[in-house]
Homo-oligomer: A and B are copies of this chain.
Amino acid sequence: MAPLTSAKTRPVRLADIAKAAGVSHGTASNVFARPEIVREEVRERVKAAAEAMGYGGPDPKGRLLRAGKVNAIGVATAEPLSYFFEDPFARVMMASISQACDATGAGISLVSAANSEQLAWNIQSALVDGFIVFCVDGGSKLVELARDRKLPFVALDLDSDDDDEAVAAIGVDNIAGAGLAARHLTELGHRRFAVLALPCADAGFGPTTREQMEKALYSGTRDRLRGYFAELARVDIDISKVPIYETTNDEKSVWAGLDHIFAGAETPTAILAMSDRIALHALDWLRQHDITVPGDVSIVGFDGVPEGAVSKPPLTTIVQPIAEMGRLAVKAILENDGSPTSRQSLPVELVVRASSGPSPA
């Protein structure tokens, strides 16, 4: 084949325009990186050559290798990428992370490890200066992978049991928070409880037990349950009778859970929901079944997402300092050069709104 035009249009490199302009590539590089140190005449010549050859500026790929810094932080989760835009908790967290990044000019790379095949690879090949790992589920595997990259990283809401390793982690005291929720309801006179739990095992939902929940993948789940039950036990409620329904944090499983719970003879007057998302779906179910909140049933969520403030009725919940957590996480990545800092546990707060009231009993 004779060269028709130029066959494969191989992208123009800096070296090409250097040659075309008759300067060394060192000078060509300077034209783009530090134009002020290049004589004007030469600068114009190089720029003209670049223009003529359709050169789109120095390729960041090349620069990266030398500079070392990507100027972006990776946010990793074991959920699909859309989790970041659909889950209320994640959204609030991401909004605060992104504000912190904006302030410093850093970019954000979203990396998902939803299927375990790509999981490892996505994390291993992410071009980032550090990781923030969302540990909602399958956290420890993610943390391990992220740590193997030897980059600065922070785990959000890491497994509290997992502190054998010195990893930086930012979380809240789930046990105390759950205790707060339970106590709020017992103080209102409730004695018949039900728990709508976050996922425990892989991708299933249905009634479960305390023993089962102790194996939860994500320790936040475990800790919240422990917190609930410690408080209920404290006021002599027979915790063996409290139904626990494991959900997948979505409408379908929550509704199935409530179908199940309210099918029993002795229906609860108080529901402990492990996330606001669960609680909000529950509110929908209760409304559709003409069960008044908080008249017939009280419900307390967990997280403190903005939607909870405008739901019908507004949700009593345990609010996490989500924005603060995001800010701290970014700060930890950007200021930390790799060495793990200590784990931080932030306080949670009970915010009483209209979804909880005195027991009807």
Contact = CB atoms under 8 A, between A and B. Distances in A.
Interface in A228-279: none
A159 B304 CA distance: 39
A352 interface: no
Interface residues of A, number: 47
Contacts of A72: 109, 127
A81 B125 CA distance: 23
A91 interface: yes
A53 to B, nearest CB: 11
B105 A95 contact: no
B98 A80 contact: yes
Given A57-B149, A64-B61, A107-B111, A95 B86 contact: yes
Interface in A114-148: 114, 118, 122, 124-127, 148
| Residue with the greatest number of chain B CB neighbours at <10 A, chosen from A95, A99, A110, A122 | A110
Contacts of A86: 91, 95
A3 interface: no
A49 interface: no
Interface in A74-109: 80-82, 84-86, 91-92, 94-96, 98-99, 101-102, 105, 107-109
A110 B127 contact: no
A336 interface: no
Given A65-B65, A109-B72, A110-B108, A125 B60 contact: yes
Given A64-B65, A70-B127, A102-B114, 12 more contacts: A11-B150, A56-B151, A61-B127, A62-B65, A64-B64, A71-B125, A80-B99, A81-B107, A85-B98, A86-B91, A98-B110, A107-B110
